[in-house]
Structure formats: structure tokens, C-alpha cells
Amino acid sequence: MYRFLFSSKWLGYLLLAAIFATACVFLGRWQMDRRAETLAEINRVVTNYSAAPIPFAQARDQFTQLDPAKEWTQVELKGSYDAAGQRVVRNRPLNGQPGYEVVVPFRLATGETVVIDRGWLPIGNKNPGSPDAVPAPPSGEVTAVVRLKHGEPELQRGAPEGQLASIDLPAFSAQLGYPLLTGAYGQLASETPPAAEMPVAFPKPSTDEGTHLSYSLQWFAFGVLMFVGFGYAARQQARNAAIDAEDDEAAPDGTLHAAVATRRRTPAPRKRKKATAEEEEDTLLDAQGY
């Protein structure tokens, strides 16, 4: 009954179904991997973002090489800003708005220097390609609380003087002419004393895992449905073949089909309408010769 499945045509259909289903499984697993990465990031935010700050002495190794599990950890730094080393980082959108971020070297009491990202600025209206004004950091001794962030890769593009294409810490250090701790930088949470003017503070990272789970389930469902469709098509083909075989056995010379066709074309005789009383009386008189 299902011998046709071994024909080249149906084997080709099966191969196409298998290829499609494999692609669906691959895309579903890819969405699951992305969900796992998102959940790991959410866990870091929930665990570290609002935790009590730790002193620099406990976090120094993280500024050398940041453990991904320690991202967003709050660290308390004491020292002073190097205002002359302040830079703005290009192409930094926030809430759909184009703008810049302000990064400033921060020299610690230990003599080491880290980088602090103080916040966001909108694009300027006075000078194209730069913000209208960059708020200066507070002078003198400052206590800053920052959240640890990974440095960014070098981008194959330049930037005007006083700007950076990305927060590439080794490149920033080379531009400044003195060493920085390049394993991580700090995103500013608060500083004491506060500056007279501040860039826009960074919002808390989202803890929404997104639609990765639903997308992955949809891809897996598509892969299963491909085989369901293949099975349904094969079943319909088998039923049609069985009907054709029964017809051939009942009328091998085709006479049965012709008789059925003739019977379908011949209309059924119409039933005679029942005679009225007057018609019956006329018929009786005619029979008696009147």
C-alpha cells in the first residue's frame, strides 16, 4: 500500500522534509542558546547591580581581568579625575536617541588609574559631530561608586580629536600616554562631592528575557509539522491508490464506469400528478361512451 514511498519522487520529498526539519532544529537551538545568554546576563544584573559596593582593594583583580560573573558589581573608588584626559565616545544611542558617552581617567590613591564612564550626552546643535557642552568632573578628592563593565573591542574607524570610536581601554591608554588598568572600566553610579552639572545617568539594564523561548518553540513545531504534512500527503496518496485499485477490480473493462455514468446522465421519470375529482369523473364518462 505504501510502496510508493520508496519511489525517487517520494524519497526526494522525504529528504526535503528532513533538511527543513534539521534547519528548524538548528534555529530553535540557536534561540535557546541566546536565551541562556540573556538569562545569565539577567542573573548578573539581579545579583550585582544593587549589591553593596566593595572597596577597590577587593576588586583590583577585576580591573585587570574582569570575571563575567562579576560584571555590574559596585566598587567604591577614592581618588581624583584627570579632567585633561576626558574624552567623548561616539555613536552611543540611549532610548533610541543618538549621542555620546563621557569617559574620564580616575587616578586612585594607590597611584593606579582606571576609566570611569560618567554618563550620556545628546548630539549637539551648535557643532555637528560633537555635543554642545561636556560637563566637567568634580575637582579634588572624589569618592566614586562605579559598576564594573568589560572594555570594548577596537573599531576599524577613526574619531575626531577629543573623541573615541569605542571604549577600547588599551587604545585610550596609548592616546593618554600613561598606563591604565585595562581589564575593565567603571560605569558611574554616584560620586561625592557631586558635580555642578552631570551627563544623563545610565538606566538600569533590562531584566526581560525577550521572546527567545517562544521563537525556539515555534521553530521546533515547524520541524515537527513538516513530517506531519509529509505523513498526511502519503496517507492521501495511499487512499487514492486504494480507491483506484478497487475500481479496477470491480470493472476491469470499464463497463461499470460507463453504466454508472449513463445512470447519472438519465434523469429519473417524473411522478404523475394526482388527478382531481373532475378529471376522474370525465375519465369515467369517457369509458362509458358518453
Give the whole-angstrom CA distance, residue 30 versus residue 61.
33
Looking at the structure, do residues 251 and 227 belong to the same domain, yes or no? Answer: yes
Q: Which residues pair with 99 in a beta bridge?
A: 122
Domain assignment present for residue 281? The answer is no
Looking at the structure, do residues 128 and 182 belong to the same domain, yes or no? Answer: yes
Looking at the structure, do residues 74 and 35 belong to the same domain, yes or no? Answer: no
Looking at the structure, do residues 186 and 74 belong to the same domain, yes or no? Answer: yes
Give the whole-angstrom CA distance, residue 278 versus residue 26.
87
pLDDT band at 264, cuts 50/70/90? Answer: very low
Looking at the structure, do residues 18 and 80 belong to the same domain, yes or no? Answer: no
> Residue 216 — φ and ψ, nearest 5°?
-65, -40
Q: pLDDT tens for residues 94-112?
A: 988 999 999 999 999 889 9
Looking at the structure, do residues 133 and 183 belong to the same domain, yes or no? Answer: yes
Indicate the angle between helix axes 212-250 and 8-48, nearest 10 degrees.
160
Looking at the structure, do residues 77 and 90 belong to the same domain, yes or no? Answer: yes
Its domain, for residue 10, covers: 1-48+213-266
CA dihedral for 110, 112, 118, 121, sign (positive or negative): positive
Looking at the structure, do residues 56 and 149 belong to the same domain, yes or no? Answer: yes
Looking at the structure, do residues 72 and 187 belong to the same domain, yes or no? Answer: yes
Looking at the structure, do residues 70 and 172 belong to the same domain, yes or no? Answer: yes
Q: pLDDT tens for residues 173-205?
A: 999 999 999 999 999 999 999 898 999 999 888
The residues, ordered by sequence, that sit 6+ positions from 30 with a Cβ below 8 Å of its Cβ are none
Local structure of 49: helix, strand or coil: coil
pTM above 0.85, yes or no: no
> Residue 204 — φ and ψ, nearest 5°?
-65, 135
More confident residue, 61 or 129: 61
Mean per-residue pLDDT, 103-123: 95
Local structure of 151: helix, strand or coil: coil
- As to burial, measured by CB atoms within 10 angstroms (0-12 exposed, 13-18 middle, 19+ buried), residue 37 is exposed
Looking at the structure, do residues 176 and 87 belong to the same domain, yes or no? Answer: yes
Among candidate residues 80, 82, 89, 81, the one with its CA nearest the CA of residue 162: 89
Q: What is the mean pLDDT of the chain?
A: 86
Cell of 64: 585587570
Domain assignment present for residue 242? The answer is yes
Looking at the structure, do residues 157 and 71 belong to the same domain, yes or no? Answer: yes
Count of structural domains within the chain: 2
Give the whole-angstrom CA distance, residue 246 versus residue 253.
13
Q: pLDDT tens for residues 67-87?
A: 999 999 999 999 999 999 999
Domain assignment present for residue 188? The answer is yes
